[in-house]
Amino acid sequence: MKKTIKKLISLGLAVSMAAALSACGSSSGPSPTTSETTAAAGSDAAAENTGAKILRVAAVDPQVAYDMQQYTYSLIMKVTDNVVESLLTTQDGGKVVPTLLAKEPELSDDMLTYSFELIDGVKFHNGETLKSSDVKYSLERVVKKQSMGSLLEKVEGYEALADGSANELTGIKVIDDTHFTITLSEVYTPFVSVLSTPYCGIYPAEACEAAGDNWGKTELIGTGPFKFDSYTPGVGVEISKFDGYYGNVPKLDGVSYKFIEDANTQVLEYQKGNIDYVDVETNMYPVYQADPKLKDQMHMFQPIGGYYMTFNVKSVSDPKIRQAISMSINRQAICESIFHGTAKPSSSFIPAGIIGHDDSLEEFAYDPEGAKALLAEAGYANGYDLRLTVNTKYATSIPIATAFQEQAKAAGINVTIEQVDSAAWSDMRKSGGVDAGVGNWYVDYNDPDSMLYPVSDSRTDRSSSFWHNEEFKKLMEAGVQTSDEAERQEIYVKAEHILSREDYAIAPIYNESKCYLLNPKITGLVMDSTFRNFYANADFQQ
C-alpha cells in the first residue's frame, strides 16, 4: 500500500516567510510572488522597434559553466531557472508541486521508496523525449560532479557512486520510459523538496554526455519554457522562447542577459532604457530611493538566509580564536553604514521563518575587549593575523571585509583581505585554501536541513572548512528522521548553539533584504525568497 506525500511536503517547503515583492519605501506594492506595476514611466524595450518581446536583464559573467550541478551561484540560476526544470517545484507559500511529473510521488509505508510517473511526451529543446533514464542520469551526475552531490546522500548506493566504486545510484530503478522509483537508505523527510532544487534539474543524457566540458558553455538543454541560445563570455547570454514547451508557451520571445560588471553602470544602463531588470546593491539603496524617477520602480524581496564568515578549522583551529573573531565584527555598524537599514544583524545562522530559529537569542555583540582577552587565553596576547578571502563577484563582500578589517583592529586582529574571482574562489574552497572567507547561503527549500547544508558533515571538507562535530552530526541526522515540528525545533536549536555559539565554526553577520529595479511595463515576473527567477509568465504591457 502506498500513500501520497502531501503531509511530508510541508516539511521542506520553500517559503513560509512571504517573499514580499513590495516597492521599497512604499506602503503598497505588487503581490508576494509577482511584480506587476502599472506606472507608465520607465525604459522602453528595445524590442518594441522590432516587434519582438525581449526582456533585458543586467547580469555579471560567472566565468564558469551555466551548470547548477557544478556551480551553485545565483548568477547562474537566473538563467538556468528558465531553461532547465526539476521534477518538482517549490512554490512561494510552501507547496511542492509536480513539474515534470504526472502526479505527486507515492511513498511506501516504510517511508523509504518513492514512486514517480513522468508526464508523457515532454520534449527537451533538442527534440528528444524526456525519459526515466534521463532522470536517473541527471541525478547520478549530481553525485559525480560532487558540488551538491550530498543532497542525494540518503539515496541507496550514494556512497559507492560518490567514492567511484560504482557507476550508478542503485536506489534509482527505471521501470519504463515514464515510471521509476527512488529508494532511500534511511528515512529523510525533506527528500521531495530536495528534488525541487535547481541542482536536481533534468538533462537529456545523451546530449549532456556528448557535450562534455562544453555543457553549460556552448550547449545547455532542458525542458524549460526557454531554450539556451548562446553564452558569450564578457558579453552575455541569450535564451529564446521554446515553442515546443509542454506547458503554456511564454509570452516573451526571449531574455537577453547583458554582462555589465559594475553595479553602478548597470543602473545607468537601466536609466538610459537599455535594461529592464537590474539588481540593486543595498549600499546604493539611499541614492536610488531618493531619485524620484527610480523610487517607484524599486522593489524588495526577503531571501531566507544571509551572510556569514567562514573558518578553516585547520588553520584557525582554536574555538577561542574563532569566537574572538566573531566578537570583533560590529554587525550593527555594517548594517547601518553599508546596507542603510535593509539588513539586520544576525542572532543565529538559522534565520527567522524556518524551524530551528531561536527567537530568544540576542544579536551577536561587538566586544573587542572581550575578544582581546580570548586571544590572550589562546596565546595571542600580542595580536592575531588573519587572511580573509572574498569572492569579487559578490560586490557586498568587499565592503563587509573592509569594514571588518578596521573593526578588528580594536581587538588586535590584523586582517589581510584577499580578493579573488569566482573560479579561483571555487578552486580555493575545494582545495582548502581559504583560511577565513565572507560567504552567503540561502535556502533552496524552507527547511533547516537546507539552511545547514553548507556546514553538514559531508560538505565541510569541500568548502575549506573541515569542521566536524559528532553531536552536531547526530542532531542533523535526527532532524530529518522525524516529522514532528516541535521535536525538530528542539533538535535544530541545539544544533545552532553548537555551530555558532559553542564551536564558532562560522560567524553569522547579517540577514538582508534585496532590492531590484524593474521596468514598469513588465508584468508577471516571478521572484521568490529562494532566489528563483521565473520569466515564463512575464510580459510587456502595451
Closest CA to 218 of 202, 206, 207: 207
Alpha-carbon gap, residue 268 to 446, rounded angstroms:
35
Q: What is the pLDDT of residue 28?
A: 27
Q: What is the pLDDT of residue 18?
A: 30
Residue type, 178: T
Scanning the structure block, which residue is given the C-alpha cell 524599486?
A: 298
Q: Domain residue spans in the chain? A: 85-202, 224-301+515-540, 305-512
293-304: per-residue pLDDT in tens?
Answer: 898 999 888 888
Contacts of residue 52, Cβ cutoff 8 Å, sequence gap at least 6: 253, 254
169-211: per-residue pLDDT in tens?
Answer: 999 999 999 999 999 999 998 899 999 999 999 999 999 999 9
**How many degrees, rounded to 5, is the angle at CA 37 between CA 31 and CA 40?**
170
Backbone torsions φ then ψ of 114, nearest 5 degrees: -105, 135
Identify whether the C-beta of residue 155 lies closer than 8 Å to the C-beta of residue 162. Answer: no
Cell triple for 507: 560567524
Cell triple for 367: 566586544
Alpha-carbon gap, residue 340 to 478, rounded angstroms:
40
pTM score, two decimals? 0.75
| Beta strands at 34-35 and 525-527: parallel, antiparallel or unpaired | antiparallel
> What's the fold here for domain 224-301+515-540?
D-Maltodextrin-Binding Protein; domain 2 (3.40.190)
Q: What is the pLDDT of residue 7?
A: 46
Query: Residue 69 CB: number of other CB atoms within 10 A?
Result: 27
57-85: per-residue pLDDT in tens?
Answer: 999 999 999 999 999 888 899 999 999 99
Contacts of residue 436, Cβ cutoff 8 Å, sequence gap at least 6: 309, 310, 311, 312, 316, 325, 386, 387, 388, 389
Alpha-carbon gap, residue 114 to 175, rounded angstroms:
13
Cell triple for 537: 509568465
Cell triple for 279: 539588481
Instruction: Tell me the average confidence (pLDDT) per consecutive run of 10 residues in the chain, 542 residues long.
Output: 47 34 30 32 43 94 95 91 96 81 96 97 98 98 92 96 96 98 95 94 98 97 98 97 97 97 93 95 81 90 91 97 98 92 93 91 97 98 97 89 98 98 92 95 86 91 95 96 91 98 97 92 86 91 76
Kindly indicate whether the domain formed by 305-512 is annotated with CATH number 3.10.105.10. yes
Q: What is the pLDDT of residue 13?
A: 36
Alpha-carbon gap, residue 277 to 266, rounded angstroms:
9
Q: Which CATH class is domain 85-202?
A: alpha beta
Look at the alpha carbons of 203, 204, 207, 212 in this order and tell me if their dihedral is positive or negative.
positive
Q: What is the pLDDT of residue 527?
A: 82
Alpha-carbon gap, residue 173 to 179, rounded angstroms:
9
Q: What is the pLDDT of residue 92?
A: 66
